Each structure stands twice: as structure tokens, then as C-alpha cells.
Chain A
Amino acid sequence: MGSRLGGIFWSLIFLAVPVLGVATFAVAPSYNIWLPKDVSEHGSSIDSLFMFILALTGVVFIATEGLLFWFLWKYDAAKAKGPATYIHGSHTLEVVWTIIPAATLLFLAIYQMNTWADVKMRRPAMAPTVEVVARQFEWRLRYPGRDGMLGTRDDLFLTNDLHLPVDEDILVQLKSMDVLHSFFLPNLRIKQDAVPGMKIPVWFKAKETGQFDIVCAELCGWGHYKMKGRVTIESRADFDRWLEETYARQEATQPAPEDVVAPAAD
């Protein structure tokens, strides 16, 4: 059934999968279609884990797709002579290709636990730097005022314009007013859903200054796409100056009402 030419053609189509697949990943970084610049302290361990898994799966990808091509090429009914090999399996092979992937996967599982614990489980013992309250479709920010405590009358309120000092531990207290949102800082390798009714701590340390995106990564309604914020990472001095100026502006335009005490944050 079928000609040898057909067999050659289809084998090559299947060979194109690993060839073009690898080429896509090889070319993408030169078009800047790759992991965005990482400015966080923990990000390098996430990125290197990504690259490690990419290399590991890449080897398996090339090997299995390559074998598939080779078998199609070699065992085309129009080319190979005689009947097919009459074999029902191999106990040895089954054991080998069960044990090796199992060990690899188990290693991978254990290997990554520390990074996960650093980013999500080992919370620094400190008061929150800022409270982020997600709301359709904006990020409401609340800095502790001069007293250094959230939930007091001198708190500083802002939307979408997050400023943070560089080279310092940051603890964000993440909340949501209405529906689910997700606090995604691509350049800081941070993502955490904001859940109404929950206060979720998020911590990181930025190692470079600059301005970066805050993206909402959990569907929150029709305006999900425009729930955009910016994070400015700056030196301690710049940060303090910004804090003073912004605070003075708030005082000038909207003095805190005497009889309204903001609900305690904690």
C-alpha cells in the first residue's frame, strides 16, 4: 500500500516537527520573544529551573521525535522487506523506561522544592511594605504613613502607581474587594491570585531600578485587559522623596476626615 515516495515524504513531515520545534526556541530570543528581563533576587532560580526543564524535555523531545521519524523511514511497508517483527513487548525495556523517567521526575520534584519554599513559604518576619487591594479594574495601593502601620489615619492611598525601594525585602499584603484577580509582575517573577476574603502575603526583593508592568492574570470581568499598573523600583532616597511628595499632595488635596477611621488592616 502506497509508494516509497509517499513514505519518504511523510517521514520527513514528521522529522520537521523536532527540527522546526528546536529552531523556534533557538530563534525566539533574538527577536526578544523570550523570558522578559528579570530584576528580582529569586527570579534567577526560577529562570534556571525553566532552562533546566527546557534542556531536559528538549533532549527527550528530540530523541522520541527522532526515533519516530527513523522508524517511519526505515519500516515503510514499501521499503522494508519481509513481514513485520512479531513481538509483544519486552519486560526489560518496560522496566528501564519506567525506572529512568520515574527517577528523573522524582529528582525534578525534590530539586525544585527549595525555590518554591523561598518564594511562597518562607515569609520574612516584617510588617507589610504596602497593601495591594485589587478591584475591578484597578490596583488600589495603601502605604503605611509616618507611623509605619497600616490601617491608621495617616495611611497613603494611591491607585496603579506602585513604588518600591530596591535591594530591600518587600512584603505586599494582597487582597481583593470584589472578584478574583492575579497580581502578576513579569519582571519580578511574581504571580499571586488575589482572593476576596483572604489576605495573602507576597514577598520579593528587587535588585535593579526601573519601571515595570503590573498585569492582572486572572479573568476579572470585561475590563480585565486594562487592569494595568506600573511598579517603579528606585533607590531608598528616591523612594523616600517620592513618598514625602505624594503624602504632601494627599494631605493638600484630601485631608483625612477626623471622624472616619479606616478599618484596621490586620
Chain B
Amino acid sequence: MSTATASTLSHGTATTLPPARKPRPLAEFLSTYVFSKDHKVIGLQFLFSTLLWFLIGGLLALAVRWQIAWPWSDVPVLGKLFAQQGGQMAPEFYTMLFTMHATVMIFLVIIPILAGAFGNFLIPLMIGADDMAFPTLNMLSYWFMWPAFFAFGASFFVEGGAASSGWTSYPPLSTNVASAPGSGWGQTLWLIGLTMVGVSSMLGSVNYMTTIILMRAPGMTMFRLPMTIWAMFITAILQAFALPVLTAAGFMQLSDRTIGTGFFSPEGNVVNNAIAGAGGGQPLLWQHLFWFYSHPAVYIMILPAMGMVSDILTTFARKPLFGYRPMVYSIAGIAGLGFIVWGHHMFMSGMNPALGVTFMVSTMMIALPSAVKTFNWLGTVWGGRIQFTTSMLFALSFVSMFIIGGLSGIFMAATPVDIFIHDTYFIVAHFHYVLFAGTAMGVWAAIYFWFPKMFGRTMNEFWGKVHFFLTFIFLNGTFFTMHILGAVGFPRRLADAYHYETFHHLQPLNAFMTWCAIGMVASQAIFAANFFWSMFFGPIAGRNPWNSNTLEWTAPSPPGHGNFDFQPVVHRGPYEYSVPGADKDHLMQTDPPNALATAAAAAAH
């Protein structure tokens, strides 16, 4: 380890005050931990905020599951909190719950935890930069999340409750105030919150693109970037190009609600026996605009996890990534095709069925780069020397679960099959396999993997594995069964479906799934305890606890302000593990070119 001795050097500029300056503890505290412009602090701010919202989103999901398993029975805890419901859940409360569960998970957890937390923390460290290109913009990208936190959070307490027209917010239900009890301030606050999340994402994207293009360390060519960075880079591009459409659509819906514009309301619409608005609009317009962003957003929610998992797999398989360039091209392919598949959310919407055919073909084709990625991950594991760390287990489960989520997508892409399974639990199974069993497992892999770099200590492996085991079992118990529920045609978003002859026998299966969901959420207590205990009492990690290759592992743990205590110079790609003839089983990107290793590397090509 060439850089191990460097950890003893003094390097932090932020921690040592110049002697002439008068100490101002409050100002120092605020600028270091609150309004910090350091990408690592901002990353951790994103991490803590999103993990807190993850808990809230999970509890909302449990309340949803409670109603599906035991409709109209008294809800524990929540029933007392919302006493005016008399202990049992009102149907409008149920619609609000699933709307806000999805909203919180997508806009306040998955997108900001990937781009905000890991993007921020990892990009400068992995490319060998001292910080982001625009530190102030970076700080603002975090603080623009707070108006969103307040808007979404406050909406629970306004009259009529939070938004309840689904996370897709389809008009006229969302635009017409008379059409839903929760469509008062709750929906307006939802739109404001959404816009703020958009501003935050846009500020982040601009920064990530600039930083990755301009601030790479000497020798760090684009094709020496780790997959994490490639994924973050392409995600930032996707985000920057797709977001303006959602922002515009959000403002249109806001003006439909507040000043009566009617972009999405057709002529002669009657809601609750009253003429609703001036008309002249089209409800399908919203769906096109919304999915033009929100389908690429699906990839914004998975690509960074794919990148991080690739890096973790190579580290713990002690093997170069199989097919580096195909992996990069397939991410680019997913991003490119991602812009022309949004219509597959609208096969049943009344959109021209001939247009549906084109979207069906492009959707079928987007399965291809995902398949290529899966095969390359398998190729990476093949012939490796696998170390079953907690992080590796989560990364492997990402691959295993993504296979399920990817394959179930083919059912929905097939338009005739979609006629039956559209808006049923089959689709609920599909996106939970991609977003929870995929992305969330990838995020846990990343937390266990980079925790030592964030806090200088490693997390407890034993409890980490217990956490993995319970989460893995319970998540499959909850979500795999949704496939067969969907095969019956069990519709999503129904507060009680058992009065239908077709679905009346499905309550025991739903009760089983709810028990699994309760177990899944409860298992996270182990994670929380491990996380906070390890932050303060975990074993000291050192610079490179996993013997990994990328640049962040040459910096101190945790890195001080400015990240590196030397100028990193990159000599090779990020995945030189088990190089024949080398004196150790990994060659870090900064390790000076060694005649023996280079010769061996050249011979193997």
C-alpha cells in the first residue's frame, strides 16, 4: 500500500484555524456542517435527510399494506394519530397514503440518495478532484430540498390532507379541486414540492457534468473512469434534458389549479354535477409530458446503483470488470432509448393504438442493454475469488433481483398482455423489484462499502449480514407474491377489492405479504443501530479497508477538506485486480507503473 504512510501527515486546512483569526464557533459550525460547500458534507446531508424520509416512506407503505390486508380494521398507532377517522382508515386517507408513499420514495429518497448523497460524495473523490466545480451551486442543490421537505411534509396537515391523486397526478383528478377531497392545498403543495426537487436535481446535474468533464485528475481519461462515475455522468445528462419538461408541465398543472387555465381539462367536463373549468385542454397531454420526464427518471433511479454495484462486484470478486466498454455503451444505450419509450405507460390511456406499437418496439429494445449488463455482471463474478462481505451480498442481490425486475418488464412491454396486467399488482411487483430490490439493495451495498470512507470506521459485518438476510427474505415474501396477485388481475390503488367476485379469495395472500412487509421494515432497526453505533464505535478503517483500486481509497478516511493529501496521478483503469505477476492482488489507479505489472497486463490483452 503505497499511500498508507501518508495518513499520518497533517493535511486538513479546514480544521486548523489561522492564528490571527478570531474564533467564531457558531459561524464556523454553520459553515462547516450546515451551509457547507464541501461536497462530502453535502453528500452526507443528503444521505441523512434521505434516510430519514426512507423511514417515513416505509411507514406510509406499512399503512397502505395494513389496509390491503385487513380493510377497514382499526389501524395501530396511525389510527390514534388521526383520531377523526375513528381508528379505521377512510378511503380518501388510503389514496393519500399510497400517493405520498410513492412521492416520498421517488422524489425524496431514491433520486436524491443516488445523485445527491452518493453522486456528491463520490464524484470528486473518484475522479481525483478536490471538490465540485461549483461548490455554492452544490450547497444550493441541497438547500432547495428543504422547501420540498416542507411542502410535502406540511401537506399532511392542511385541510383535506396531502395529495391523493397518485404520484402520477393525472388530471382532471389532480387539477379539479372538486374531484377529490385531498385536492385542495395538498395537491398544490405537492406541485410546489415537486418543482423544488426539480431545481435541486438540475443544480446537481449541471455540477456533476461540469465536474466530471473538467476536473479529472491527470491521467484519468474517460475510459479509465469507474462505472459509478460513468453512471452518474449519464444520469446527470438524462436529468438535465428531461427535467425541464416536467417542470413546465408542473407549472401548467399549477396554473390549471390556481388561475383556471385548463391546459389539461377538456370542454364540457362535469365534476360533482358542476361544470369544471373553461376546457379546451387534453388530459392525455399531462401524461405525455409527465412520462417524458418520469420514464427517463426510472433510469435516473437505477443507473447510479448499477454503476456502484459494478464497482463493488469487482472489488469483492477480485477480478476486472467483464466488458468495461460494453458496460459503458449499454448505460448510454439505456439513456438514449429511455427518451423514446415513455408511451408504454400509456398503452391503455386512449393514445392512438398505432403509436402504442412503436412504443412497444422501442420498449422491447431497451431490454437489450439491460440484458447485456446482467450478462457482464455474471461474467465478472465468474472465475473470481468471491468474498462474501455484507456489501457484496447486497450487490449480488442487486443482480439477482434486477433479473426478476427486468424480465417482468417484458410482460408489460407486450401490449396485448398489458391489456390484462396494466394497473394490476403485476406492475407493482415489477417496479418494486427494480426500485426496492434493485436500487435500494444497491444503496445498502454502497453504504456498507463507502461507510469507512465517510466516517473512517467500518460497519459491523455480523449485524450487517443479519440485516441483509432478513431484508432479502422479507422483500421477496412481500414482492414476489405480487406477481401472482397481478396474474389474477388484482388492481392497484383499491382501498378494498374483496367485494369483487374475482378477487374475494385473495385476502390471505395479502395478509401474508403485509406480515413480510412489517418484518422488512422492522429489520431496518438492525441497520439503523449498526449505522449509528459504527459511526462512533466501529473499528478504525484506514484508507483502503477493502483493498480496492479507485482513487477515493487513496485519500484519508474520512478525507479532509480538499480530499487528497497528494496530487493523484492515474496510471491505469479502475479494475486491475489479480494482475498476474504483480506483488499484490490489486493495482490501484495511482500505483506507479511497475514494469512487471504492465508487461503482464499487456500480455493478457
Contact = CB atoms under 8 A, between A and B. Distances in A.
B173 A220 contact: yes
Interface string B393-415: 10011011001100110110011
B167 to A, nearest CB: 10
B522 interface: no
Contact of B414 (A35, A53, A225): A53
Contact of B488 (A6, A34, A189, A211): A34
Complex A-B, nearest 3 residue pairs according to Cβ-Cβ distance, in ascending order: A197-B266, A85-B383, A222-B92
Given A17-B476, A87-B320, A219 B419 contact: no
B420 A189 contact: yes
A25 B481 CA distance: 9
Interface in A207-236: 211-213, 215-226, 228
26 contacts: A1-B388, A17-B400, A34-B484, A34-B488, A35-B420, A65-B403, A77-B387, A84-B383, A84-B384, A84-B578, A86-B319, A86-B600, A89-B323, A89-B325, A94-B323, A101-B368, A120-B419, A180-B173, A182-B348, A213-B502, A218-B423, A219-B95, A223-B91, A225-B91, A225-B496, A226-B496
A109 interface: yes
Nearest to B369: A98
A115 interface: yes
A108 B410 contact: yes
Given A36-B488, A68-B400, A106-B364, A215 B500 contact: yes
Contact of B422 (A77, A112, A191, A224): A191
Interface stretch (B10-18, B43-51, B103-111, B276-284): B276-284
Contacts of A189: 419-420
Given A89-B376, A93-B379, A215 B416 contact: no
Contacts of A115: 416
Contacts of B361: 109
Nearest to A179: B173
A243 interface: no
Interface in A139-167: none
A259 to B, nearest CB: 21
Contacts of A239: none
B495 A224 contact: yes
A1 B408 CA distance: 36
B385 A119 contact: no
Nearest to B166: A219
Contacts of A180: 170, 172-173, 283
B514 interface: no
Contact of B416 (A20, A46, A60, A68): A46
Contact of A75 (B324, B368, B383): B383
B407 to A, nearest CB: 4
Given A182-B348, A191-B348, A196-B172, A116 B415 contact: yes
Interface residues of B, number: 121
A71 B481 CA distance: 27
B476 A20 contact: yes
A7 B386 contact: yes
Contacts of B364: 105-106, 108-109
A116 B353 contact: yes
B154 interface: no
B413 to A, nearest CB: 8
Given A53-B414, A109-B364, A72 B350 contact: no
Contacts of A108: 364, 410, 414
Nearest to B577: A84
Contacts of B481: 24
A156 B414 CA distance: 38
A178 B179 contact: yes
Contacts of A14: 396-397, 400
B272 interface: yes
B180 interface: yes
B381 interface: yes
Contacts of B319: 84-87
A222 B91 contact: yes
A266 to B, nearest CB: 15
Nearest to A108: B364
Nearest to A42: B416
Contacts of B578: 83-86
B181 A219 contact: no
A24 B422 contact: no
Given A217-B422, A219-B170, A89 B324 contact: yes
A186 B400 CA distance: 32
Interface in B340-394: 348-350, 353-354, 356-357, 360-361, 364-365, 367-368, 371-372, 374-376, 378-379, 381-389, 393
Interface in A78-120: 80, 83-90, 93-94, 97-98, 101-102, 105-106, 108-109, 112-113, 115-117, 119-120
A105 B365 contact: yes
B350 A200 contact: yes
A89 B353 CA distance: 42
Nearest to B319: A84
B500 A228 contact: yes
A197 B488 contact: no
A115 to B, nearest CB: 4
Which residue of A20, A77, A86 has the most chain B CB atoms within 10 A of its CB atom? Answer: A86
A176 B407 CA distance: 35
A57 to B, nearest CB: 4
A45 interface: yes
B254 to A, nearest CB: 18
A49 B416 contact: yes
B388 A2 contact: yes
A212 B166 CA distance: 28
B91 A33 contact: no
A68 B164 contact: no
A242 interface: no
Contact of A88 (B265, B324, B420, B497): B324
Interface in B283-333: 283-284, 317-326
A90 B563 CA distance: 36
